[in-house]
Amino acid sequence: MTDILSEEDLNKVKKNFITNSIFGQKLINGLSADKKREVNIDYFLSHIKNFNLQKKENWEEKINYKKYIESIPENIQEKLKNETEIIIKNKNCIEPYCKKQIKIITPINIFKKIGFHHKLVKLESSYYDLFGFIYNNDEIVGYVCCGKRSNNVYKNIYVVICKKYQKDFYEKKNKKLSIINEIVEDIGFYEKETYNDYLKHYRNQIYSFVLDILLEHKSIKNIVCIGDEEGGNLLQLFLVDVINNRSEYNVKMADDFSYYLFTHNTAMLSTETFFNDLINYLGGNINSMITCFEGKNDAYDSWDVDEAKKNKYNIILIGKHDI
């Protein structure tokens, strides 16, 4: 392992590995404890609530790293074979007009980046197995897990991002529309920083986890995206991206494979055309995209709710939840 990282960096990664393992185990234990048979608003909110509960814990002060450090396997490099990186190039497009290529990150590079990989340690609970954390720089902002049935067969991939808007987000009233086409032709988006953030920090991470799971587990039927505040905008982009590029990555999926999106207190940062296209991609099912607000707050006010409902957007107002 020392030929991959310096001793200082190696110790930092090992420390992250321990923190992430304990954080992740408690996260999915909490999800399992809250699991209900019926799929309702609380079912989605539990993912956000449990993630935020673990984020509030000061793990750095609570963990005896010396106790855990000896349990880390020495043959990490062997366990995470340095596979060749996969580049999905959108082969049907003509240069220089092709969409931005997707880079699938190798397991060893994921481990170096975030200090965790599911091939090193299996974090599992009664209803969920954790496959990875989503990072923005050095901060965990989400995770990817699989929901399993009683026979331990996976059915759902859950992609969860909880990322708050910056404090001055709603103070900037004039949001300029940009037409962007790196992932899909001519997306109308009002926050180019969010879009660029998706391309730089999130796109390759999420694709790497999701494709890894889809290649390994043919039983997967659904990708369920759950986003809090700006996390919802990032996952709107991911869903449009992954559905549009479905023919480009070589994964055989069931004919009835489905996608779902639940957002919480997420502002409307895309044009109506974007959302109409997204609803069509999701099969026109009103329950495939649920847009949820804690009362008529700033996020709610950013939407033309009457027009949204006319276009079959499922807009829901809820009471206060401890998330």
Confidence of residue 85 (pLDDT cuts 50, 70, 90): low
Domains of the chain: 7-318 (3.40.50)
Statement: residue 191 has pLDDT above 80: yes
Greatest alpha-carbon pair distance for the chain in Å reads: 59
Question: Does the structure show a pLDDT above 90 at 150?
Answer: no
pLDDT at 291 over 90: yes
pLDDT at 227 over 80: yes
Across 16-20, 76-80, 172-176, least confident range: 76-80
* Residue 231: band (very low, low, confident or very high) from pLDDT cuts 50, 70, 90: very high
323 vs 321: CA distance, rounded Å: 6
pLDDT tier at 247 (50, 70, 90 boundaries)? confident
95 — pLDDT class (breaks 50, 70, 90): very low
What is the per-residue pLDDT for 13?
Answer: 78
User: What pLDDT was estimated at residue 1?
Assistant: 40
How confident is the model over 273-298, as a mean pLDDT?
A: 87
Angle at the Cα of 57 from the Cα atoms of 193 and 226, rounded to 5 degrees: 45
Q: What is the mean pLDDT of the segment spanning 234-245? A: 91
The per-residue pLDDT for 134 is 95
Average pLDDT of the chain?
83
Strand partners, 163: 229
- For the segment 288-300, the average pLDDT, to the nearest whole number, is 93
Task: Give, in degrees to the nearest 5, the angle at Cα 194 between 193 and 196.
Answer: 65
DSSP bridge pairs for 162:
228
Tens of pLDDT, residue by residue over 207-217, are 999 998 998 88
Distance in angstroms between the alpha carbons of the first and the last residue of the chain: 39
Q: Is the pLDDT of residue 92 over 60?
A: no
Residue 70: what pLDDT? 64
Top-confidence residue, 157 or 65: 157
- Alpha-carbon span 192 to 175, nearest angstrom: 9
Token pair belonging to 200: 């730089």
The arithmetic mean of pLDDT across residues 194-217, rounded, is 92
Distance CA 322, CA 52 (A): 9
pTM here?
A: 0.88
pLDDT in tens, 119-148: 878 888 999 999 999 999 888 999 999 998
Q: What percent of the chain has pLDDT over 90?
A: 36
Is the model more confident about 248 or about 268?
268
pLDDT at residue 3, rounded to an integer: 44
What's the pLDDT at 209?
93
Residue 270 per-residue DSSP state? B
